[in-house]
Structure 1
Amino acid sequence: MSYNARKIAVEILNSIDESKSFSNIEIKKRVKRVKDIRDENLIRELVYGVLENKLYIDNIIKNYSNTNYKKINNIILQILRIGIYQICFVDNIPDRAACNESVNLTKIFNKKRLSGYVNGILRNVVRNKDKDFLPDKNNNIIDYFSIKYSHPKWIVEKFINDFGEDFTERLLKSNNEKPSLNIRVNKIKINRNNLIEVLSKHGISAEKTKYAQDGLIINNPRNITELTEFKEGYFSIQDESSMLVAQIMNPEEGSTVLDICSGPGGKATHIAEKMKNKGKIISRDIFNHKLDLINKNATRLDIDIIDTENFDGLKLDNKMKEKVDYCLVDAPCSGLGLLRRKPDIRWNKDIKDLNILVEMQLEILKNASQYVKVQGILIYSTCTINKKENLNIINKFLLMNNNYSLEEIKNVEMKSNETLKKGYIELFPNIHGTDGFFIAKLKRNI
């Protein structure tokens, strides 16, 4: 492993802190500078590891640093974070290497005068690995969970209020585990069994997803998007939870579908695959770069029934009233179901944002409901586990729209299917092994 990889990890973490950049964008932009796949993997490990454990790591720094935490140089702070992460969470990097390489980073970033400070803290951490400096769980469970599992206190408090303490602890722990890579089979071109065989010839192990009928779990992902089969549209990368949207919609061939908030098109292209590329899908978004991605993905998958349009879901389109058989509202949301996949969300969101989102979600759903024909289906989905953005929205909508009702979900098999009978599904990483997700199936009766 090279110091260059650790230097890039420091730069990425610094950019995320100072510019509120997204980790996946920063990583994608900067890993182009490395040639060795091991260095690329190390960069991802360090960046995501620090983001997932930031409060825990910073709590250690605060207890060992003679300098006030708020006055620590930001580059030095990132160097300390990746050093402590390696010492406390990574088994295959020796403690001595973590310390020495962190000290070398201070020189690379022209902070040599602080090398003794960095070395002192990290050597102390190595000598006292059994000390975690956590608050007393019995006296302050919110602070304890917040620091131990590195989630902002407002998220911990919200989860405890919604789900209780035991469930919340399992959820927070799950949010810090590495998610599996899932792919969606393009059944227009190939079935799951055949794709498993094709991937095995590339040395890639795959198994079928538990709930999604078109999904595979990739056990040893590496450069999977470089495969000829990906470039020729045999599969797409998509989490199992997202695959359930099209599965629950279950559109018939030849139907007309409207996808209100479609970018980047994962669900729209899946719907097209379900329809065997027969019918019409209108994919709308307010961002042109997302519409470009929809078109690009559709071309790769050999799908030609998707028309993209720049249109704001908060506006009512009178020309579309009662024109579609199926409508999807994959609503803008807080993303609290994606904390294990996108750990920076926990640091970039604020509880104040939630009320604004709830108003927006309800307005988009009200507009969408007017586009559906009588006996048509309206799907509402989010990638959050926040009840205010999910079931509460559906209940408010149904109180205002007695021409709609929840429709039983019959094509998803789960041990506990009480909510499926009621017409919605809640997915949690600690229970289902998927991203946190919510999907409701509504039918227009009159």
Structure 2
Amino acid sequence: MTKSVNTRELILGILLEVTEHEAYSHLIIRNVLDKYQYLDKQERAFITRVSEGTIENMILIDYIINQFSKVSINKMKPVIRSILRMSVYQLKFMDSVPDSAVCNEAVKLATRKGFHNLKGFVNGVLRNISRNLEQVTFPDEKKTPSKYLSIMYSMPEWIVEKWLEEYEYHIVKRILEGFLNKNSTTIRCNTSKITTEELKAMLNQEGIQVNSSNCLDYALEISDYNRINVMEAFKKGFFQVQDISSMLVAEVADIKENSYVIDVCAAPGGKSLHAADKLKETGYVEARDLTENKITLIEENINRIGFTNIEARQQDALILDEKSLEKADVVLADLPCSGLGVIAKKTDIKYKMTPKKQSALVKLQRDILHVVGQYVKPGGVLIYSTCTINREENLENVSWFIQNHEFELESISNYLKDKLQCDTAESGYVQLLPEINETDGFFIAKLRKADRQ
């Protein structure tokens, strides 16, 4: 007999790991769902939604709690703080759960966790919020726009202020809205193994909703599924989970058969495998990354998909590999970044990043580019990409690189469908924005090394 599990207790555990122990939300949620994979689809969906939703809306939730609690959210015990947060999320965003049930379950959970003496506090705060949720006063959008956007979209104010310096107000607002809109999962068909139409039919047979993408012929959007790793098409290596923006890296690289490709920061291997797929069993892809764990992750994907023209190798991108000097036709440099373009998928990134960390990342990116640019043969291509929308990590890095190395930008217009075309594509780069481009926030630049002949 399967042991019964309290889903709210699991959610509490997830929140504590993320907020108190710096765990990454997408990883800890996945680990919990893997451990309790016998739970039915509805329970799994509840765990995912409340965990992700609470983390995603935490600034807004804390703002609400502070209006009704005599004890500031930051001065509460971590367990009580997390119980209140997950409960307020349900009160504000989930009509399917009665307010009384939310309050009762919160009190029970506080008691179960050894806080019997605080159950009255939990009950009082939540019942007060449930009765007066519509009366909460928020910052004025016109008088304090950055504060308004920060609270309403749960984005740290320093990030909002930074984006308001780089983008118009209505653009920033749409980006923030985009982070909160849950999109379907995007997958890339391995076209050297199966056609897109065959994959679509195979997924449909398993009862999975499949739609074609308007951006790339081999991209599909899937929904109404339970777990990806049990799908027959996934186990057979017919597809890879990958966002459109990430697929564009190998697309704009225009990889020719028999090419030698180095992916310098490859884990979990999506771009490397895409490159191998485009080579159609020719050439060679070297998927490199820093740690043994990351190499294992890449190898798992290589083994599942079954390509033989790709190999994973442990290599620090900051250390020059003399054997690779001017050997690669294409170098893919999707470098460590602030990750602020993929907040929709990794909701807690926004809380972990700081201005100091971001400045350090800009230096790291430049240091890596200086090293890995040397692997590109004369006339070859370097693709620089990040999953962020900050100018210093993107266009400013490209400008610096061109000024200090024998590379120039090359047009990528021919590789972008109308939906993704923009003013800068002809100049050799694109800044994709959430909601506006219906992709992750992502930057891609195509750089061609001078041919000395």
TM tier, smaller: over 0.9
Report the secondary structure of 1:222's partner residue.
coil
Aligned residue identity for 2:32:
R
SS in 2 for 1:313: coil
Aligned-partner SS, 1:365: helix
* Residue 19 of structure 2 corresponds to residue 17 of structure 1: yes
Q: Tell me, yes or no, if structure 1 residue 347 matches structure 2 residue 312.
A: no
1:245 alignment partner in structure 2: 249
Letter in 2 for 1:181: T
Length-normalised TM-score, structure 2:
0.95
Amino acid at match of 1:235: F
Residues 213/97 of structure 1: CA separation in 2 closer, same or farther (3 Å cut)? same
Aligned residue in 1 for 2:29: 27
- Give, in whole Å, the separation in 2 of the partners of 1:129 and 1:316: 58
Residues of 2 paired with 1:108 and 1:39: CA distance? Answer: 20
After superposition, residues 32-431 of structure 1 pair within 5 angstroms as: 32-33=35-36, 35-415=39-419, 416-431=421-436
8 Å CA contact 2:276, 2:309 repeated in 1: yes
Matched, 1:432 2:437: yes
Which residue identity does 2:44 align to in structure 1?
A: E
- Matched-pair contact (CA < 8 Å) for 2:265–2:333: yes
CA deviations on 1:56-114 (whole Å, 9 max, x unpaired) are 11111111112233321111111111111011011221222212211221122121222
Measured on the aligned residues, the alpha-carbon RMSD in Å equals 1.5
Task: Note the residue ranges of structure 2 that are not aligned, 5 or more in a row.
Answer: none
Partner amino acid, structure 2, of 1:209: S
401-410 or 345-354, larger mean C-alpha shift: 401-410
Please name the residue that 1:6 is paired with. Answer: 8
8 Å CA contact 1:196–1:205 kept in 2: the answer is no
For 1:6 and 1:279, the matched residues in 2 are separated by 51
- Counterparts of 1:192 and 1:342, CA distance in 2: 28
- Confirm or deny: 8 A CA contact 2:428 2:446 kept in the other structure: yes
SS at match of 2:63: helix
- 1:170 partner amino acid: R
Post-superposition shift, 1:403?
Answer: 4.2
For 2:72 and 2:327, locate their aligned partners in 1 and report how far apart those are by CA, in whole Å: 62
Secondary structure at the counterpart of residue 432 of structure 1: coil
CA distance in 2, matches of 1:65, 1:243: 47
Report the CA distance between 1:155 and its aligned residue: 0.8
Structure 1 residue 296: deviation in Å?
Answer: 1.7
Could you tell me which amino acid in structure 1 is paired with residue 427 of structure 2? K
- Read off the aligned partner of 1:271 and give its amino acid letter: A
> Contact 2:252/2:412 (CA < 8 Å) preserved in 1?
no
> Displacement, 1:318?
2.4
The answer as to whether partners of 1:407 and 1:443 remain within 8 angstroms in 2 is no
Native 8 Å contact 1:258 1:324 kept in 2: yes
Give distance in 1, aligned partners of 2:372 and 2:130. Answer: 57
Counterparts of 1:440 and 1:131, CA distance in 2: 48
Which has the larger displacement, 219-228 or 321-330? 219-228
Task: Write the letter of the residue equivalent to 2:254.
Answer: N
Q: Residue 20 of structure 2 aligns to which amino acid in structure 1? A: E
Please give the alpha-carbon distance, in whole angstroms, between the structure 1 residues aligned to 2:245 and 2:74. 40
Equivalent position SS for 1:418: coil
2:333–2:385 contact (8 Å) kept in structure 1: yes
Does the 8 A contact of 1:409 with 1:441 survive in 2?
Answer: no
Q: Is contact 1:3-1:101 (8 Å) kept?
A: no
Q: Distance in 1 between matches of 2:364 and 2:379?
A: 26
How far apart, CA to CA, are the structure 2 residues paired with 1:92 and 1:276? 49
For residues 370 and 322 of structure 1, what CA distance do their matches in structure 2 show?
6
- The superposition leaves residues 333-366 of structure 1 with CA deviations (integer Å, 9 ceiling, x where unpaired) of 0000011111110111111111111111112112
How far apart in 1 are the matches of 2:87 and 2:312? Answer: 47
The whole-number CA distance in structure 2 between the counterparts of 1:162 and 1:21 is: 30
Q: In the aligned structure 2, how far is the partner of 1:186 from the partner of 1:383?
A: 23
- Provide TM-score, normalisation by structure 1: 0.96
How far apart in 2 are the matches of 1:23 and 1:8?
Answer: 13
- Residue 307 of structure 1 and its aligned partner are, at CA, apart by 2.3
Pairwise CA distance, 1:124: 1.4
Check whether the contact 2:410–2:426 (CA below 8 A) recurs between aligned residues. no
Task: Please list every run of 5 or more consecutive structure 1 residues that lacks an aligned counterpart in the other structure.
Answer: none
State the Cα distance separating 1:305 from its structure 2 match.
1.2
SS state at 1:308 partner:
strand
Aligned length: 445
